[in-house]
Chains A and B, each alone.
Chain A
């Protein structure tokens, strides 16, 4: 993989690499676990269960124990390591992803619960090689230092805007309070979100 002048990999390279790495088991959408009306629910596990996750538009099947979180399934099973694990307790927001367009913390949900749902991670936010406007805004506003919280910040900001346009910087701060930044890039993060939300300074 070639790095650019700033030592970054291009998105296309990262994407290509992660797709190659991922076990290419593409299957039809699953989600047939709930029992048909009248029948008793099927009990599965505690051993590994085949789960089909629809991530970034692709259905991917993997074997996970019921106790595996969506976060761990994404990172460990699907090699989508853009989603970060900070606290593993719902407190930091680094693991934020969109599930059916809604932002949630992937450390607080089980992979098996999300079979059939549409999951968007940072790897799937751009349109081909065209970055999502929120990604562009984070770059332009220099809204990170170490970058560890950034995927979660960006997904959370995208989710925030889907919930309704924030009208002020205070509303952005409140709406983004579930995402902590140890480098304290907060002012720039608010700037970036404000740009996309068209909130005046």
Chain B
């Protein structure tokens, strides 16, 4: 790990101001991702700005929005009784991520900013277009079992690893920074020919909160994460669903996929397949099929296509049927 200078900020304004003094500065929240990135030579900030004392904590339940501070911890949000009751998809996604110790330290803002777990990205000795633009993407012709089947490009087929971001996509959340608001669907960038640009965040821009429309708290929702072991593992495929039901008929649906694309993947075609319908076996099957429209699997990950179909159908049935 390269040596760095360190400062503790006590307000968002201070954090932004002090970070502005060094173009390489990084914010530090829980540290559960930044420390690994620095240790592995994937980040080398000259200045680390600890934002843990910035008052961007806690969860508030307003009439219009539910606001979660960027420094709220994953465990704290997952355990909050009103989150469990009214936003089960959020609580379930958080609890499906990492381990208890990591969830106790990791913040919501840091979670959204975590980098891909692609093993070529994580190994500083390997080429990687995300890390070193133009160096190539060994995943495309290499070990790509974990990689994207949707949204990838000739330059990069990473997947975004956050479970939280998938749930927030299904909840139509907005990322609030110190000076603007970014809908979560516009927060993450697809790689295209510039895979090193991953989010809409400007350097030195601080996330202060995430907001969820309060209406979503009336919907049924749920998350399912399919992985290689039962706990403490990233998703091969995950599905977050939020359903506004009128009796047995779907009024509105939001469906988001994790583990399959460089960003949380909103499955619009699957949403269309269920809107205005009852969740019969045929409709569930059609939704699963629609979710993988345009999928481009690679040598080792074709299994994800079927996994998405089945997981989408399963979560829709479970959430819609109250199973």
Measured CB to CB, the nearest residue on chain A to B53 is: A34
Which residues on the A side are within 8 Å of B30 (C-beta)?
A: 108-109
Answer whether residue B306 sits at the interface, using C-beta atoms and an 8 A cutoff: no
Measured CB to CB, the nearest residue on chain B to A113 is: B50
Which residues on the B side are within 8 Å of A179 (C-beta)?
A: 99
Among B1, B7, B28, B52, residue most surrounded by chain A Cβ atoms (within 10 Å)? B7
B100-131 with Cβ < 8 A to chain A:
100-102, 104-105
Which of the residues A34, A90, A104, A105 comes within 8 Å of B8, measured between beta carbons?
A34
Which of the residues B5, B9, B232 comes within 8 Å of A66, measured between beta carbons?
B5
Q: Are A90 and B3 in contact (CB under 8 A)?
A: no
Q: In angstroms, how far is the closest chain A Cβ from the Cβ of B134?
A: 28
Answer whether residue A173 sits at the interface, using C-beta atoms and an 8 A cutoff: yes
Q: How large is the interface on B (under 10, 10 to 19, 20 to 34, 35 or more residues)?
A: 35 or more
Q: Quick check: which of A14-22, A37-45, A76-84 contacts chain B, the rest being far away?
A: A37-45
**Given A108-B105, A109-B105, A113-B52, are A177 and B232 also a contact pair (CB < 8 Å)?**
yes
Among B15, B79, B99, residue most surrounded by chain A Cβ atoms (within 10 Å)? B99
Q: In angstroms, how far is the closest chain B Cβ from the Cβ of A64?
A: 11
Q: Quick check: which of A3-11, A127-135, A155-163 contacts chain B, the rest being far away?
A: A155-163
Q: How far is the CA of A161 from the CA of B50 in the complex (A)?
A: 30
Q: In angstroms, how far is the closest chain B Cβ from the Cβ of A149?
A: 13
Q: Are A174 and B231 in contact (CB under 8 A)?
A: yes
Answer whether residue A103 sits at the interface, using C-beta atoms and an 8 A cutoff: yes
Which of the residues B6, B32, B53, B100 comes within 8 Å of A175, measured between beta carbons?
B100
**Chain A 24-38 per-residue mask, 1 if CB under 8 angstroms from chain B, else 0:** 000000000111010
Answer whether residue A112 sits at the interface, using C-beta atoms and an 8 A cutoff: yes
Q: How far is the CA of A178 from the CA of B97 in the complex (A)?
A: 11
Q: Are A110 and B35 in contact (CB under 8 A)?
A: yes
Q: How far is the CA of A44 from the CA of B18 in the complex (A)?
A: 12
Q: Are A108 and B31 in contact (CB under 8 A)?
A: yes
Q: How far is the CA of A178 from the CA of B81 in the complex (A)?
A: 24
Q: How far is the CA of A35 from the CA of B14 in the complex (A)?
A: 10
Answer whether residue A69 sits at the interface, using C-beta atoms and an 8 A cutoff: yes
Q: Are B100 and A105 in contact (CB under 8 A)?
A: no
Answer whether residue A123 sits at the interface, using C-beta atoms and an 8 A cutoff: no
Q: How far is the CA of A89 from the CA of B36 in the complex (A)?
A: 6
Which residues on the A side are within 8 Å of B39 (C-beta)?
A: 88-89
**Given A89-B36, A89-B39, A107-B35, are A65 and B3 also a contact pair (CB < 8 Å)?**
yes
**Chain A 161-183 per-residue mask, 1 if CB under 8 angstroms from chain B, else 0:** 00100000000011101110000
Q: Are B102 and A43 in contact (CB under 8 A)?
A: no
Which of the residues A40, A43, A93, A103 comes within 8 Å of B6, measured between beta carbons?
A43
Which residues on the A side are within 8 Å of B100 (C-beta)?
A: 103, 156, 159-160, 163, 175, 177-178
Q: How far is the CA of A40 from the CA of B9 in the complex (A)?
A: 8
Q: Are A67 and B38 in contact (CB under 8 A)?
A: yes
Q: Are A177 and B231 in contact (CB under 8 A)?
A: yes
Answer whether residue A199 sits at the interface, using C-beta atoms and an 8 A cutoff: no
Q: Are A103 and B10 in contact (CB under 8 A)?
A: no
Q: Are A45 and B101 in contact (CB under 8 A)?
A: no
Which residues on the B side are within 8 Å of A33 (C-beta)?
A: 8
**Besides A45-B5, A175-B100, 10 new A-B residue pairs in contact (Cβ under 8 A), listed by A number:** A43-B18, A44-B6, A46-B5, A66-B6, A90-B102, A103-B101, A108-B30, A113-B52, A177-B100, A178-B232
14 A-B pairs with C-beta separation under 8 A:
A35-B10, A35-B14, A37-B11, A41-B9, A42-B7, A44-B6, A45-B5, A66-B5, A105-B101, A105-B105, A107-B35, A109-B31, A113-B50, A173-B231
Q: Identify the 7 closest CB pairs spanning chains A and B, nearest first.
A: A178-B99, A66-B6, A46-B3, A177-B231, A177-B232, A41-B7, A108-B32
